Amino acid sequence: MNKTPLTLRHRFRTGFTPTPICIVAEQARAEDKQYCRQTLNSPTIRKLVKGFTIFELLVVSILMVIVMLITSQFWKWFSPSVTEMIAREHILCEARMAAQNLAADFGSAVGAAPFGSDGLVLCKDGGDFPSGDANWAPPDVLVYYSLVGNTLQRSDSTGAEFTVADSVSNFTVGEGPPLRITLELQCRDVTRQLVFMWSAPTP
């Protein structure tokens, strides 16, 4: 059996004597209903419920297109500068690594000569009693620099081998003395040329 809540009027008819608390609660419910009606009928709520118009959506779409066009033009102007800056930094880093490795090997070399069409061989004095002359045979250590693809490779007679630099477009060794070594690096449109000169140490 369903028991429906008794309204204040029904309670009066059935002989129910309302207390002050019941009367206040009934009045509060009536005030809440009135506030809800006023809130739902307010212009702000109606506008929110109504949503956007076609004209408003069209204006927003046009503004978004304008912002995208301005951004694309700005990036078109700004992108080449960023790309060139990255390429220059890459070339400088590779040139620094190549210069440091060549300088370290040149400093202890007693002989140097072209090797193949695009290579360099250095002779480092070795053994327990270095003679100071380039014997080009053990116990001297031979160091080879060669261009493989676009990388400069270093290897020696001890079996060590590693890449000195990449983005190398040309590596040439001229006849000496003094021996002239030219290293050219290129990344995108940025190029850099390094020239090394080597002479045999004086006794």
pLDDT at 7: 46
Burial code (b: 16+ CB inside 10 Å, e: under 16) for 173-183 equals beeeeebebeb
CA pair distance 129, 133, nearest whole angstrom: 11
Identify residue 58 by its one-letter amino acid code.
Answer: L
Chain-centroid distance of CA 166 in Å reads 19
pLDDT given at position 3: 47
Look at residue 10 in the predicted model and tell me its pLDDT: 46
Q: Which residue carries 């004095």 as its tokens?
A: 125
Euclidean distance between CA atoms 121 and 104, whole angstroms: 14
pTM above 0.85, yes or no: no
pLDDT tens string, the chain, 203 residues long: the values are: 444 444 444 444 444 444 444 444 455 455 555 655 555 566 665 555 556 688 888 888 889 988 888 887 777 676 667 788 888 899 999 999 999 999 999 888 888 999 888 899 999 988 777 778 888 888 889 999 999 999 999 999 889 899 999 999 999 998 777 889 999 999 888 889 999 988 887 76
* Tens digits of residue pLDDT in 88-126: 899 999 999 999 999 999 888 888 999 888 899 999 988
Collapsed DSSP state (helix, strand, coil) of residue 42: coil
Query: In one letter, which amino acid is 17?
Result: T
Assign 105 to helix, strand or coil: helix
For residue 31, the model assigns a pLDDT of 59
